[in-house]
Structure 1
Amino acid sequence: MSPLRLLPDLAAAALFIQSLRWMGDPGTSRRGVLAGAAAMALAVAGTLAGAAAGGGTHGLAILAAFALGAAAGYPLAQVPLTAVPQRTALSHAFGGMAAGLVGTAKFVHAYAEGGREALGPFVTAALGAEVLLGFLTLTGSLLAAGKLQEVRWIPQRPVTYPFQNAVNLGLLALAVGAAAALVAAPLAPWAPWAFGLLVLLSLAFGILLVLPIGGADMPTVISILNAYAGLSAVAMGFVLDNKLLITAGALDGSSGFILSVLMCRAMNRSFANVLFGAFGQTAPVAAGAAGALKADTAESAAQILAQAGLVVVVPGYGMAVAQAQHKLRELYDLLKRRGVTVKFAIHPVAGRMPGHMNVLLAEAEIPYDDLVEMDDINGEMPVCDVCLVVGANDVVNPAARSDPASPIYGMPIIDADRAHTVYAVKRSRNPGFAGIDNPLYALDKTFMLFGDAKAVIGDLVRQLGGEARHP
């Protein structure tokens, strides 16, 4: 192959690697996204150029597919930030579907041609992995997106039944067995039936894998599905002998697994516990806990905030739903003008996708220097005058430290209960998305501000702004 033909692939691979590096820092993340998009454009252009040079005749069909993809992708890119988690899950679903369909087309074509070389042991094994990972990513990601979107007919809570893990592992073993049978005899008369069984089992396994997983684990699940999609792309690269696809898929898969490991570590849990623990089932509310909650007014809360020396804000999914980040920026500005130190405590799994809170706060142009990770902020919580919890629940639940019976026992949390005063902004008295009661809200020093987070923070801004004008 001419060195000139390799240049687009080399440039694309370098840009993919640099993209991941830039996306690791909030200050360069936008540049990283653009680099990734440029890398993909180069990869597609290089692939098309190679196909044309080899006498490919499907240019019009490929261009038509581009047009359809662009028509579907553009509206999906316009979703609000609150819908980014489910939008991300849909992207993984599309990637898995593409890998599964390419693997299916490769098998059907090679089997019809009777080409033993095309279905050698290594290629057939890679094709089986591609189809298995691709189709389980498709159905698993669609189910995850439906849970995040709170689609009515999809249960939000974990669905469990006796011997569930045994059933899931049995289905996986059957799928692997079907793939192994194809490797042993890819051109046997029964091979198409084995392949069809592999596809059906993969689709079913994706659903059953995500069905018992609750909302609190969704950020990790999305990350794991991202890794599966990347690995299916690696397998597809081996099947198609496309080195750039192998490189891009390996980067995607490895980064997804690394992020999943980091998030599991942040929750003090293992992969097995996330995938098979069914965390997020509704726990019974302690007797009298709901009645012990003390509601307060925005006027009173504003007076306490104005007199504070250090205010720590803990954002959660409730902030995202209400789109309250811009009102929080106004509150931040008012408090800073009064000489109050304001910091935002970021838990690794707050929200419903990795980095969810960082993205929303960056949209409101809150300085990155005032965004503090959980491990760093916890040392300051005993001297924090006011902890303002905005729509967070499990990430500030002290039961994780004190109650061995709690499903989140052992999970690192932001120590909101160690602040002098706690104000919690919450839509209702109901438990959070994971369905676990939070004893923080029943503490004597905790006061509730019930209502939509945007409206409540807006009331605080108006109260503080009025005091500034009329001291």
Structure 2
Amino acid sequence: MYVQHLMGLSGLLAAGLFIFGLKRMSSPVTALSGIVVAGVGMVAAVAASFLVVFDLMHAGNDRLGVNVALALVALAVGAGWAWWKGGKVAMTAMPQMVALYNGMGGGAAASIAAVALSGDAGGSPLILGVTVIGALIGSVSLTGSVIAWAKLDGKINHPWRFGGQRIVNGVIFAATALLGVGVVIFHGVPSGLSLAILFFFGALVFGVMMTLPIGGADMPVVISLYNAFTGLAVGLEGFALQNPALMIAGMVVGSAGTLLTALMAKAMNRSLSNVLFSNFGDLSGAGAADVKGEMKSADASDAAINMRYASSVIIIPGYGLAVAQAQQKLYEFVKLLQAAGVDVKFAIHPVAGRMPGHMNVLLAEAGVPYDIIFDMDDINADFVNTDVALVIGANDVVNPSARTDKSSPIYGMPILNADQAHQVYVIKRGQGKGYSGVENTLFYRQNCSMVYGDAQAVLTQMVQSVKDLGA
């Protein structure tokens, strides 16, 4: 009796810590402590589960000993591997890691459901139905996240599409849903197990088929969506198991992921259905032949000196900054400009990088103060009065075609108004297009100059040029 009460209290404590931790994650200043708080909540929930198992063993259920040993081994292996890989992962690989870990969460929820559905123990149709729905969502999140990881990691370089793909996907989903209904109806009989195996196979396949046609430029939204899926799956399995901690944690993650997905889709001026089913990128390069002007190159030293004597500079980081791992050198350059009296700010687009908040994490790693980092809505009006806009590795989020070219696939997407600055410098390795494959007309504007080269090398040269002025 006391153990059951302790289990309930620990679940309530864990749920409270989850919610409080998520609240603190809403600000970069308190995000780290929020992660720690939520982690403590998870430790409390896991410890309470083991306490219940040990109580059952003490009551004479010796068969649980093997399961406890396997669970402890799994915890040790998983925690050790995550600690090791988490410390080694490069910032450029952070989106891939997030996609994989998110997929593992969905897979864990699906595995819990698989164990429940493979047993002979009966259950109400409601509980069985919730278990099946959680299994479907968790399985889709698992394989969909793996495909997202492969796209982000360059294992899959192009969307995989064919005629009638939506119809095929619809048939797979409908068949899987019907199998799920069969699992509920025939649970506990031999045919029910066969239906469950086919159901999980269909759900896993659908996750793959759903994600393969989505273009790489939409991966930030897809990762956020699968994060919501994982939370929802965990919450549903928590309901089936009558576990308050899982229910509340799943609902919090699911609702937060859903809200983030909606906000990111809005930031691209596209509906979620458009992201998932529009085959974005088929018109890549449209209108490129109509671009007027030519790209002008500038020397890194000249650009640095121009910024040194400017009054205001807005920096727009993109994925190229992460690839070059140049965030530390960038902040060194920023501090030199600030010491010279230049007003320096950072502008962050909601979908910059390869995952939600990617650029914020990148700048935080370099120690950039949070009070000079601004979201798009808060800083866009400042560009028109800014002397220099410095774009580093960003492309689609500063493309003026989104405002003017109705034939462009990104038309209507809110962008950072870098083109409105008096002078724009773009650090870019070459003349290639962005991740979406759309030509960027900013690069051909009269007030824009290209500084070609790896961001790390270019910023190193800029830092040295500014230092030489004070020598």
CA distance in 1, matches of 2:81, 2:150: 18
Does 1:183 pair with 2:220?
no
Aligned residues: 460
Q: Which consecutive residues of structure 2, in runs of 5 or more, have no partner in the other structure? A: 58-63
- Is the alpha carbon distance of 1:82 and 1:290 closer, same or farther for their aligned partners in structure 2, counting shifts above 3 Å? farther
Residue deviations 1:252-278, cap 9 Å, x none?
111111111111111111110111122
Q: Secondary structure at the match of 2:390?
A: strand
Residue among 117, 122, 135 paired with 1:107: 117
> Could you tell me how far 1:208 is from its partner in structure 2?
1.1
CA distance in 1, matches of 2:39, 2:283: 41
> Could you tell me how far 1:120 is from its partner in structure 2?
2.3
> Could you tell me how far 1:443 is from its partner in structure 2?
0.8
Structure 2 counterpart of 1:420: 422
> Could you tell me how far 1:104 is from its partner in structure 2?
1.4
Q: State TM-score, norm by structure 2.
A: 0.94
Residue among 440, 452, 459 paired with 2:454: 452
1:31-42 aligned at under 5 Å gives the runs 31-42=33-44
Residue deviations 1:80-119, cap 9 Å, x none?
1221111011101211221222211221122xxxx3xx33
Residue among 31, 43, 46 paired with 2:45: 43
Residue deviations 1:331-354, cap 9 Å, x none?
111111111111100111100111
For 1:348, the aligned partner's letter is P
> Could you tell me how far 1:297 is from its partner in structure 2?
0.4
Structure 2 counterpart of 1:381: 383
Structure 2 counterpart of 1:206: 207
Residue deviations 1:56-102, cap 9 Å, x none?
43321211111221232222212112211110111012112212222
Q: Secondary structure at the match of 2:470?
A: helix
Residue deviations 1:217-267, cap 9 Å, x none?
111111111111111111211222212111111111111111111111111
Residue among 70, 75, 83 paired with 2:84: 75
CA distance in 2, matches of 1:16, 1:405: 45
CA distance in 1, matches of 2:292, 2:323: 23
Does 1:87 pair with 2:97?
yes
CA distance in 2, matches of 1:108, 1:182: 10
C-alpha contact 1:158 1:279 (8 A) present in aligned 2: no
Q: Secondary structure at the match of 1:27?
A: coil
CA distance in 2, matches of 1:421, 1:206: 45
Which piece of structure 1 moves more, 177-186 or 422-431? 177-186
- Is the alpha carbon distance of 1:14 and 1:300 closer, same or farther for their aligned partners in structure 2, counting shifts above 3 Å? same
Does 1:97 pair with 2:107?
yes
C-alpha contact 2:15 2:244 (8 A) present in aligned 1: no
CA distance in 2, matches of 1:431, 1:440: 12
Q: Secondary structure at the match of 1:287?
A: helix
CA distance in 2, matches of 1:389, 1:425: 6
Structure 1 counterpart of 2:61: none
For 1:363, the aligned partner's letter is E
Q: Secondary structure at the match of 2:407?
A: coil
C-alpha contact 2:119 2:188 (8 A) present in aligned 1: no
Structure 2 counterpart of 1:268: 269
Structure 1 counterpart of 2:144: 140
For 2:76, the aligned partner's letter is A
C-alpha contact 1:282 1:434 (8 A) present in aligned 2: no
For 1:214, the aligned partner's letter is G
Structure 2 counterpart of 1:283: 284
CA distance in 2, matches of 1:81, 1:436: 25
Q: Secondary structure at the match of 1:349?
A: coil
1:224-235 aligned at under 5 Å gives the runs 224-235=225-236
Q: Which consecutive residues of structure 1, in runs of 5 or more, have no partner in the other structure? A: none
Residue among 313, 317, 320 paired with 1:318: 320
CA distance in 1, matches of 2:463, 2:109: 50
Structure 1 counterpart of 2:60: none
Q: Percent identity among equivalent residues?
A: 42
Residue among 43, 56, 66 paired with 2:75: 66
C-alpha contact 1:76 1:87 (8 A) present in aligned 2: no
1:117-266 aligned at under 5 Å gives the runs 118-151=122-155, 154=156, 156-266=157-267
CA distance in 2, matches of 1:158, 1:96: 23
1:342-381 aligned at under 5 Å gives the runs 342-381=344-383
> Could you tell me how far 1:452 is from its partner in structure 2?
0.7
Residue deviations 1:155-174, cap 9 Å, x none?
x2322222222222221121
Q: Secondary structure at the match of 1:405?
A: coil
C-alpha contact 2:283 2:409 (8 A) present in aligned 1: no
Residue deviations 1:175-197, cap 9 Å, x none?
11111122233234432232122
For 1:176, the aligned partner's letter is A
- Is the alpha carbon distance of 1:243 and 1:38 closer, same or farther for their aligned partners in structure 2, counting shifts above 3 Å? same
Structure 2 counterpart of 1:462: 464
CA distance in 1, matches of 2:292, 2:146: 35
> Could you tell me how far 1:290 is from its partner in structure 2?
10
Q: State TM-score, norm by structure 1.
A: 0.94
> Could you tell me how far 1:130 is from its partner in structure 2?
2.0
